[in-house]
Homo-oligomer: A and B are copies of this chain.
Amino acid sequence: MKERIKAIIEINDNTSSRVFAFFIQALILLSVITFSVETLPELEPDTRFLLRIFETFSVVVFSIEYILRIYVSDKKLKFIFSFYGIIDLLSILPFYVALGVDLRSLRALRFLRLFRILKLVRYNRAMNHFNAAIKSAKEEILLFIMVTLILMYFSAVGIYYFENEAQPEHFSSIFDSLWWAIITLTTVGYGDVYPITVGGKVFTFFILMIGLGIVAIPTGIISSALTRSVDKKE
């Protein structure tokens, strides 16, 4: 009995296992979409009721799946405290915990329910290749993050001194200036804050010249990591 359930739940090459995996994946996708639909501001009570029914159904299925996964695993505690074991639990927990709590706190707890989408990753073996590339470039990525953070801090301090007097509402402190630094160095450029003084504009020019190089670094790191990872595969 246990062996037969295991053959279905854990990924194998037989048909029933594939059907089960596809069914769970489809249910995850649907529950993610219904979760998004629930946030729409002007939903009719009927729609809200249907979404609630589907939510209950999917939580029941995910709960049964979670219990079966514990049942079939040889090392039960190891599974429960593994990455996917925790995600499996967190993706159904908000439903049960919410029953005894008031509605507003429930809303914050539902954020946890999002972890359910991480299950999509579970069934994807191709991810391994990508993980290998990230692992091999770990040191360089950490170094890049540090360099980027230092550059962002310097940009924020610099623009604060140039723009604080001219635009005290937008550059009121270094923390406000950091927002400008993030949005500018990532080249997003919303346009909510930008320098207006000549000094601030010249400073922005130099920061962006350096920033172009900084943006090029992670591209270079990941590009070379992927190339090496693919070379090894071949």
Q: Determine the residue in chain B with the shortest Cβ distance to A204.
A: B182
- Name the prevailing secondary structure of the A interface residues: helix
Q: Determine the residue in chain B with the shortest Cβ distance to A172.
A: B41
Query: Is A64 located at the chain interface by the 8 A CB criterion?
Result: no
Q: Determine the residue in chain B with the shortest Cβ distance to A107.
A: B161
Question: Closest approach, in angstroms, between the C-beta of A129 and any C-beta of chain B?
Answer: 8
Query: Is A146 located at the chain interface by the 8 A CB criterion?
Result: yes
Interface size on A, residues (CB 8 A): 76
List, sorted by A's number, 15 A–B pairs whose CB atoms are closer than 8 Å: A32-B153, A36-B173, A36-B178, A140-B226, A184-B188, A186-B211, A187-B187, A187-B189, A189-B189, A190-B194, A212-B215, A216-B221, A219-B219, A223-B224, A228-B230
Seed contacts A41-B168, A184-B188, A213-B222; 18 additional CB < 8 Å A-B pairs:
A32-B153, A36-B156, A36-B157, A39-B164, A121-B150, A124-B143, A126-B143, A127-B143, A129-B143, A130-B140, A140-B230, A178-B205, A182-B204, A186-B187, A188-B189, A189-B189, A189-B191, A216-B222
Q: Report A's interface with B, CB cutoff 8 A.
A: 32, 35-36, 39-41, 108, 111, 114, 117-118, 120-121, 124, 126-127, 129-130, 139-143, 145-148, 150, 153-154, 156-157, 160-161, 164, 168, 172-175, 178-179, 182-184, 186-192, 194, 201, 204-205, 208-209, 211-213, 215-228, 230
